[in-house]
Amino acid sequence: MKKKYIISIVAIIGVLALVAFGITKMDTSFSASTDDDETEPRNYSSDIVFDGDHYKMDHAPFEQDGHVYIALSDLKTILTSNVEQTENKLTITYEDNQLKYENGTIQNGNAKEDDIQKYHTKDDNIYLPDQHIEKFLGVKVDYFYTEKTGTIALSSPAEQLKQTFDQQIGTTIFLHKEDVTPAKYEPRDGIYLGGYVIQDEYINTSMNVFNELAGKDHASYFRYVGYGKPFPKEWVEEVKSVGGFPQIAWEPNDGLDKVKDDEYLRQFAKDARDAGVPILLRYASEMNGNWTAYSGDPKLHIEKWKLVHDVMEAEAPNVMMLWNVFTMPEHTIAEYYPGDEYVDYVGVNIYNVVYHNDRLEDLSDFEDPLRLLDYVYNKFSDTKPIVIGEFGATNYTVTDGLYHVDFAVEKIQRMYKYLPALYPRVKMIYYFDVNNLVNAPEGRKINNYAITENERITNAYHTNVKKDVFLSTVQKNASAEETFSYRDFLFFYNEELFVDRQFVEEYLKMEVQEDSENTYNVTFNKQTASIPKAELTIDKAAFFEKRDIHGIALEKLLDAFSIKYEYENGNIHIYQ
């Protein structure tokens, strides 16, 4: 069952600690450290992540005596419930359930003595306790953030019957375009299935065995190569022998100063060309963190990236340049981007670990792999196809000395089940099939990510990748029609869908300017319209930082410029 998270309002005392992130390479347990004393109170929610739709509320919920109280007016809007109110009586009807009060006291016949007996009135607004909402209306109250956020998640009785990984998927905006030039070797109707097995000793690092266990051939495999080392010709031939193409994670671990337009770089490029298959070159990845030898200098990184790109373009037209970051920290990612003209694919590495930093107090089992993708996906997929360069889920960790098979199964199911339908701009995904307890250097033997050692985990992977949408071979002649999507950075307010202005500016290619406190001026095709705006603060996908959504009323925007759209299964499809 999904955990119920109800968080007390944390008093805002002092200055919010500055958060810096680190990661141990090949272990992928984030590190969040502060410059302030560890005892300093923090003004963010402590163990919540959101995995569905955001609802902006006019009246912030509050906590009292261990219960959350929600404003009746907000509840009515979100649930579209029927409310009948007289001077002394109040009746709320939702589906087949009713909640009744008289003079503020609950009147339901099955109310017990230990139930809360009264609702609260605050600033002339009625607030209902979560206990009444859950027991008498049948609606689960999942969590409550802070006064500033004012966000709530409610699950109807029907939603509560769904499996854990089916719950709270949330609304997706799909944007359909007819004339989009594909990237090199880009598939339009599927995702290249990839893996990392070169350290899986349980199957003797065999790509053939991995394909057999998965029940499907993989289109691509990857390995790491240190900058300065020769092109891995023998390994590339092995990949070709099983019908795949290689991804090479090429890492300048001796520093960016070693990267020059010299004989080594030119020969590496020529060897890549001579391989005779598409090659995904992931040069200097995860540079946005502080754990690589080539991070910390965005200007130099971009300079060297452009150099490598230009050499590959001249010598090896079969090479796809993959600019690949880690999912966190977000705030440094854009600094390293060299520009669309120098990038073929944008990638992100995503791991679901039970604990960050090998610390029991840094429990992270609630993190959703889809939300860990959202920032990079929303930021770059308007112009570039997306690659998940590495994905892994912990099935055992030394942090607590326990197996977490259910955890690994759920995360793998969630990622591979929903990725094709919700993220059409993701074109490749590579599972990191490694037991780091065996293969990582000392001090990093923390998590086992392997999927071949446990039958349940193998079956979960097998079941979810067998769909035709996961491709085993390279597609050719990609269509010019493409579907884009946008998730998470949106919310509902007064039954209206608001989307972050990023989508309007970058995906719809409209100009947005401040107009007034409540509206934006939006210009498109030489026409300008005033569109309602609203702000909402939500938790990010990890580490409990906040994200501000600068919302624009989407339907009013589309109607203003006569753009065709329609709703289907709770999602909105836009045709441009």
Q: Is the confidence at residue 6, as pLDDT, over 60? A: no
pLDDT digits (tens, 9 = 90+) for 388-433: 999 999 999 999 999 999 899 999 999 999 999 999 999 999 999 9
**Alpha carbons 310 and 321: distance in angstroms, whole number:** 10
pLDDT digits (tens, 9 = 90+) for 445-491: 899 999 999 999 999 999 999 999 999 999 988 899 999 999 999 98
Structurally, how many domains does the chain consist of? 3
Instruction: Say what the pLDDT of residue 547 is.
Output: 87
pLDDT class for 42, splitting at 50, 70, 90?
very low
392 and 275 co-located in one domain: yes
**118 in any annotated domain:** yes
DSSP assignment string, 264-297: HHHHHHHHHHHT-S-EEEEES-STTSSSSTT-S-
Q: 133-148: string of b/e by CB count within 10 Å (b at 16+)?
A: bbbbbbbbbbbbbbee
**Alpha carbons 236 and 244: distance in angstroms, whole number:** 9
The pTM of the full predicted model, rounded to 2 decimals, is: 0.85
Question: Which residues does residue 132 pair with via DSSP β-bridges, in sequence order?
Answer: none
pLDDT class for 151, splitting at 50, 70, 90?
low
Q: Is the confidence at residue 66, as pLDDT, over 70? A: yes
pLDDT class for 92, splitting at 50, 70, 90?
very high
Instruction: Say what the pLDDT of residue 165 is.
Output: 41
The lowest-confidence range among 142-151, 316-325, 432-441, 548-557 is 142-151
**Alpha carbons 55 and 195: distance in angstroms, whole number:** 38
> For residue 234, what are the contacts with CB-CB under 8 A and spacing of at least 6?
none
> For residue 52, what are the contacts with CB-CB under 8 A and spacing of at least 6?
153, 167, 168, 169, 170
162 and 261 co-located in one domain: no
164 and 214 co-located in one domain: no
Q: Are 542 and 368 in contact (CB under 8 A)?
A: no
Instruction: Say what the pLDDT of residue 43 is.
Output: 28
321 and 380 co-located in one domain: yes
Query: Mean pLDDT throughout 198-211?
Result: 96
Q: Are 444 and 429 in contact (CB under 8 A)?
A: no
Instruction: Say what the pLDDT of residue 468 is.
Output: 96
**Alpha carbons 349 and 21: distance in angstroms, whole number:** 15
Tokens 């109607």 map to which residue?
559
Q: Is the confidence at residue 35, as pLDDT, over 50? A: no
Computed from CA positions of residues 66, 71, 74, 77, in that sequence, does the dihedral angle turn out positive or negative? positive
Instruction: Say what the pLDDT of residue 184 is.
Output: 96
From 105, 138, 170, give the residue that closes a domain. Answer: 170
551 and 458 co-located in one domain: no
Range 564-567 contact pairs with CB under 8 angstroms and sequence separation of 24 or more: none
447 and 310 co-located in one domain: yes
More confident residue, 146 or 423: 423
* Rg of the chain (C-alpha set): 25
**3 state SS for 16-36:** CCCEEEEECCCCCCEEEEECC
Q: Is the confidence at residue 280, as pLDDT, over 50? A: yes
Q: Which domain holds residue 228?
A: 173-482
pLDDT class for 558, splitting at 50, 70, 90?
very high
77 and 101 co-located in one domain: yes
Torsion of CA 149, 154, 160, 163, to 10 degrees: -30
**3 state SS for 141-195:** EEEECCCCCCEEEEECHHHHCCCHHHCCCCCEEEEEECCCCCCCCCCCCCEEEEE
CA 261, chain centre distance (Å): 37
Q: Is the confidence at residue 493, as pLDDT, over 70? A: yes
**154 in any annotated domain:** yes
Question: Which residues does residue 363 pair with via DSSP β-bridges, in sequence order?
Answer: 355
CATH of the domain at 386: 3.20.20.80
163 and 308 co-located in one domain: no
From 482, 508, 534, give the residue that closes a domain. Answer: 482
Q: Is the confidence at residue 32, as pLDDT, over 50? A: no
457 and 544 co-located in one domain: no
531 and 464 co-located in one domain: no
Strand ranges (DSSP E) for 458-545?
470-471, 482-487, 490-493, 496-500, 511-514, 519-524, 527-539
Mean per-residue pLDDT of the chain: 87
Q: Is the confidence at residue 150, as pLDDT, over 60? A: no
**6 in any annotated domain:** no
pLDDT digits (tens, 9 = 90+) for 315-362: 999 999 999 999 999 999 999 999 999 999 999 999 999 999 899 988
Q: Are 548 and 491 in contact (CB under 8 A)?
A: no
Q: Provide the residue type at 386 as one letter.
A: I
Reference 183, options 304, 285, 277, 317; nearest CA is 317
**Alpha carbons 529 and 534: distance in angstroms, whole number:** 16
pLDDT class for 24, splitting at 50, 70, 90?
very low
At residue 75, the 3 state secondary structure works out as: helix
pLDDT digits (tens, 9 = 90+) for 450-460: 999 999 999 99
Angle between the 369-380 and 405-422 helix axes, to the nearest 10 degrees? 30
Question: Which residues does residue 402 pair with via DSSP β-bridges, in sequence order?
Answer: 397
From 143, 170, 197, give the residue that closes a domain. Answer: 170
Query: Mean pLDDT throughout 84-88?
Result: 91
More confident residue, 246 or 40: 246
Q: HSE on the CB side for 544, CA within 13 Å? A: 22
At residue 42, the 3 state secondary structure works out as: coil
pLDDT class for 152, splitting at 50, 70, 90?
low
Instruction: Say what the pLDDT of residue 112 is.
Output: 85
**Alpha carbons 503 and 482: distance in angstroms, whole number:** 16
**11 in any annotated domain:** no
**1 in any annotated domain:** no
CA distances from 300 to 40, 257, 341 (A): 36, 9, 18
343 and 246 co-located in one domain: yes
Q: Is the confidence at residue 546, as pLDDT, over 60? A: yes
Question: Which residues does residue 92 pair with via DSSP β-bridges, in sequence order?
Answer: 83, 99
The helix/strand count (H/E) of the chain reads as 13, 35
Instruction: Say what the pLDDT of residue 160 is.
Output: 61
What are the backbone angles phi and psi of residue 196, rounded to the nearest 5°?
A: -125, 110
434 and 303 co-located in one domain: yes
Q: Are 133 and 119 in contact (CB under 8 A)?
A: no
Question: Which residues does residue 69 pair with via DSSP β-bridges, in sequence order?
Answer: 62, 129
Angle between the 207-214 and 455-465 helix axes, to the nearest 10 degrees? 80
**Alpha carbons 392 and 370: distance in angstroms, whole number:** 13
DSSP assignment string, 463-482: HHH-STTEESS---S--S-E
**Alpha carbons 309 and 320: distance in angstroms, whole number:** 9
**409 in any annotated domain:** yes
Residue 369, preceding peptide bond in cis (omega within 30° of 0): no
Reference 414, options 453, 378, 461, 381; nearest CA is 461
How are beta strands 19-23 and 30-34 bridged, if at all?
antiparallel
**Alpha carbons 560 and 407: distance in angstroms, whole number:** 46
Q: Are 428 and 322 in contact (CB under 8 A)?
A: no
pLDDT class for 159, splitting at 50, 70, 90?
low
How are beta strands 470-471 and 191-196 bridged, if at all?
parallel
pLDDT digits (tens, 9 = 90+) for 498-529: 999 999 999 999 999 999 999 999 999 999 99
**5 in any annotated domain:** no
**12 in any annotated domain:** no
Residues in the chain: 576
Q: Is the confidence at residue 148, as pLDDT, over 80? A: no
**Alpha carbons 337 and 301: distance in angstroms, whole number:** 9
pLDDT class for 270, splitting at 50, 70, 90?
very high
Q: Is the confidence at residue 224, as pLDDT, over 50? A: yes
